[in-house]
Structure 1
Amino acid sequence: METRAAILWEPHTEWSVEDIELDEPRAGEVNVKLAASGLCHSDEHLMTGDMVLDDATAALVGIEQFPVIGGHEGAGEVVEVGPGVTTIAPGDHVVLGFIPSCGRCPSCARGRQQLCDLGAFLLAGRQVGDLTARHHAKDGRDLGIMCCLGTFSPYTVVNEASCIKIEPDIPLDRAALVGCGVTTGWGSAVYAADVRAGDTVVVIGLGGIGMNAVQGAAFAGARHVVAVDPIESKRERSLVFGATHTAASIEEAQALVGELTWGANADRAILTAGVAEGKLVAPMMSLISKGGRAVVTAVAPIEQNQVDLNLFDLAMQRKELVGCIFGNANPRRDIPRLLRLYMDGRLKLDELVTNTYDLGHINEGYEDMRNGTNIRGVIAY
């Protein structure tokens, strides 16, 4: 079938909206008509080159990473299924989880779906069943798809492992947000940081993920939630999601946290800045108390190896520094769970959406994100 998609032909260029050819789904695959796609910062990392594989890795995988259709935060209706698909059928409403979950690999079997073995193919951008493409440019070139999804298109073909069935009364344009940003932020607080009632929590960076880390920390019962961002409007907005205090910088937060805790420092700190830089780690660690935990959720450039960290402080204060992907959540459990909270009025999704765009204005949406005017932009189909 013919459809349209936003394609990144190479790093450091804009998204190009073009007609493409989409194959029928093969064994284990599903064609989904999308209602909406979130404009997540992770796709920006493709544009800037932060998530571009080096030549040696690309050669090892045996697949060219570009050109690629962006988008990994979407929801829609199943229109066609391939042979062997058993868990969903045409007409079902689904959220596309950016982490596929097979349910059979060692990680899935241990309840760690965010580490599913199929995640090895996320940057390869091909179908996880056979590593071939279903999306093709008009000149015949195969197109990759971001996180094996490619939601910057009104139609896409994905593996059944990426589809989470949801109730039909849930608004799809809001459900799309739970495919990445909401669950990643929420889980960063609730699971990765393990926020407990009465904790003091600092969230550094207030984009779509950071705002949901604030929301998750508040839901978990934190006494103080300190939201840190240089943009005043984001700091003000964080109060809607449960922040109790705000600061314009880590340095400002250090003084504030010291005051709030009588010098004990925060129990938890979560890094959700637009880009995780090594120089941010030591200041974040200085915010947490003895036995405290710091979580790195933000995406760093793929070749970032240098980190500022005081190892004496890490060991002697028994502090913890942990990584996090998808909020350490389980897609098949947590996506429906969070959407039930939304339908019950206990999870804020409507308040996250700053602006809505059509696909042709995707570059405008990302420019708004860079300028700090969007918490979450959404493409509506």
Structure 2
Amino acid sequence: MVKALVVRGVNETPELLDVTLRAVGANDVRVRIVGAGVCHSDLSMIDGTLSPQYPLVIGHEASGIIAELGPDVTGLTVGQAVVLNWAAPCRTCWFCNNGQPWLCSTIEGITSLPGGTLADGTEVGALLGAGSMAEEVVMDASGIVPLPDGVPLAEAALLGCAILTGIGAANNAAAIQPGESVMVVGQGGIGLAAVVGARLAGATTIIAVDTSADKEALSRAAGATHFLLADPKISKQIRALTDGRGVDVALECVGAAATIRQAWGSVRRGGRCVVVGVGPKNQEVVFNPLELFHFSRTLTSSVYGNSDPERDMPRLGEYVRSGQLDLAGLVTHRIGLEGVAEAFERMKRGEGGRSLVVLDQP
């Protein structure tokens, strides 16, 4: 039995409850959690933007130590430091076989998998198959990624979602080139990681946009050359910073119709706009046929940064070891499981960067 944060329904406050995890199966791994990031996708599972089954152990961005292996698991060892991959691919479907494991058909649309039971016998799900706001998790071995050497274990949790998503959006989805100009809308955990990704890709003009002026220091530390407060007419300010053209690339990390439209309108003719944020189904983004023709822009989305953790994690480890990626610098609050509810409130208010649950376990 472990302590875990459980949500019983839409907009209900997470409760710290005793959960009996499901038994470790032949291909499963039990991981003792050391660090767990508080991600906006967790909030989307709570507020109804996404539609999971309740009750649900929340959390999906985490790192820890392997405590137990199923008998058929190979390539991993007890005591090994790992990061959770919440989009664990099957490696056999059409998408996996064609180099797009982030679109794996076996996990498409899945918001939770069986996680265990509550004290009264009620079955509880694990968010995205992870449910990592807990002392321990049981996951299929396909969702367990070895942690590269030289990466701090607790902070490594961010690699599992924010970093892979943000840096991946910049490097994989947008394919930012040296010397390009980039706009990043939204400076939460993923937006800050996208700024880092733009810097690592060699962008020379990186414009961070957020509703909170307090985010400027974080954005500039991540690599932003400019910081602008969100404004319905932001595209005029963007053009003023780019010789009247607009940016080469816009990364929209909010997931709202208004900000998607603003990002699109801030891109130069022939440029790229990538939607990274997860938005609701009840909003619509409107384009007219003439502008689609005239501007010749590319509009696309990025799922999990178009990342494959097995491919990308070693490179991220090198960024950390070389000092190009400062994970601790993206964390503004270190909390226990009991502090997650307040972390969500800060997120709603647009305050701070990543909140990191650190479990000091024996």
TM tier, smaller: over 0.9
Q: How many residues align?
A: 359
Separation (CA, whole Å) in 2 of partners of 1:204 and 1:305: 18
Identify the residue that residue 35 of structure 1 maps to in structure 2.
Answer: 34
Aligned to 2:58: 70
Equivalent residues in 2 for 1:100-249, closer than 5 Å: 100-120=88-108, 122-123=110-111, 125-126=112-113, 133-167=114-148, 169-249=150-230
> What is the alpha-carbon distance in structure 1 between the residues aligned to residue 235 and residue 123 of structure 2?
50
**Residue 290 and residue 184 in structure 1: after superposition, are their counterparts in 2 closer, same or farther (change >3 A)?**
same
Question: Residue 130 of structure 1 corresponds to which residue in structure 2?
Answer: none
The RMSD of aligned alpha carbons is 1.5
Query: 1:45 is matched with which residue?
Result: 44
What residue in structure 1 maps to residue 78 of structure 2?
A: 90
Shift of residue 215, structure 1, vs aligned partner: 0.8
Tell me the secondary structure at the aligned position of residue 31 of structure 1.
strand
Distance in 2, matches of 1:175 and 1:286, equals 35
Q: Indicate the residue corresponding to 2:333 in structure 1.
A: 355
SS of 2:158 mapped into structure 1: helix
Paired amino acid for 1:284: A
**Partner residue, 1:376:** 354
Alignment-mate amino acid for residue 167 of structure 2: W
Once the 2 structures are TM-superposed, how far is the Cα of residue 134 of structure 1 from its aligned partner?
A: 4.1
For 2:170 and 2:104, locate their aligned partners in 1 and report how far apart those are by CA, in whole Å.
21
- C-alpha distance in structure 2 between counterparts of 1:338 and 1:196, whole Å: 18
**Which residue does 1:57 correspond to in 2?**
none
Which one of 287, 300, 308 corresponds to residue 309 of structure 1? 287
Change (3 A) 1:315 1:327: same
Contact 1:113 1:331 in 2 (8 A): no
Once structures 1 and 2 are overlaid, which stretch shifts more, 14-23 or 2-11? Answer: 14-23
**Hey, what does 1:58 align to over in structure 2?**
none
Q: What is the CA-CA distance between 1:92 and the residue it aligns to?
A: 1.5
TM-score (norm: length of structure 1)? 0.90
CA–CA distance in structure 2, aligned partners of residues 350 and 311 of structure 1: 45
CA deviation after TM superposition for structure 1 residue 254, in Å:
2.1
CA positional deviation for 1:107: 1.6
Are 1:277 and 2:256 matched, yes or no? yes
Q: Are the aligned partners of 1:204 and 1:250 in contact in 2 as well (CA < 8 Å)?
A: no
Deviation per residue, 1:275-305 (Å, 9 max, x gap): x22233322211011111101110111x235
Distance (whole Å) between structure 2 residues aligned to residue 370 and residue 260 of structure 1 = 30
User: Scaled by the length of structure 2, what TM-score is found?
Assistant: 0.95
Task: Tell me the secondary structure at the aligned position of residue 289 of structure 1.
Answer: strand
Separation of aligned partners in 2, 1:118 and 1:72: 18
Q: Tell me if the contact between 1:7 and 1:69 (Cα under 8 Å) persists in the aligned partners.
A: yes
**1:106, distance to aligned residue in structure 2 (A):** 2.0
1:298 matched to 2:277? yes
Question: Cα–Cα, structure 1 residues 178 and 215, in superposed 2: closer, same or farther, change >3 Å?
Answer: same
Displacement of 1:121: 5.9
Contact 1:121 1:148 in 2 (8 A): no
Q: CA deviation at 1:169?
A: 4.4
Over 3 Å counting, the alpha-carbon distance change for 1:93 and 1:118 in structure 2 is: farther
State the secondary structure of the residue aligned to 1:143: strand
Structure 1 residue 168, shift from structure 2 partner: 5.4
Question: Is the contact made by 1:136 and 1:143 (CA closer than 8 Å) also made in structure 2?
Answer: yes
Q: Match of 2:43, as an amino acid?
A: E
Deviation >3 Å, runs of 4+: 250-253
Tell me whether 39-48 or 105-114 shows the greater mean CA deviation.
105-114
Mapped partners of 2:126, 2:197: distance in 1: 30
Q: For the Cα contact (< 8 Å) 1:35–1:74, is it kept in 2?
A: yes
| 2: CA distance, partners of 1:252 / 1:35 | 43
CA contact (8 A) 2:30 2:137 kept: yes
Kept after mapping to 2: 8 A contact 1:31/1:81 = yes
Task: Return the offset for 1:328.
Answer: 0.8
Amino acid at match of 1:163: I
1:100–1:118 contact (8 Å) kept in structure 2: no
Aligned residues with identical type, % of pairs: 31
> Does the Cα contact within 8 Å between 1:114 and 1:331 map onto a contact in 2?
no
- State the 1:253 CA deviation: 3.6
SS of 2:107's equivalent? Answer: helix
CA 1:261/1:169 → structure 2, altered by over 3 Å: closer, same or farther?
A: closer
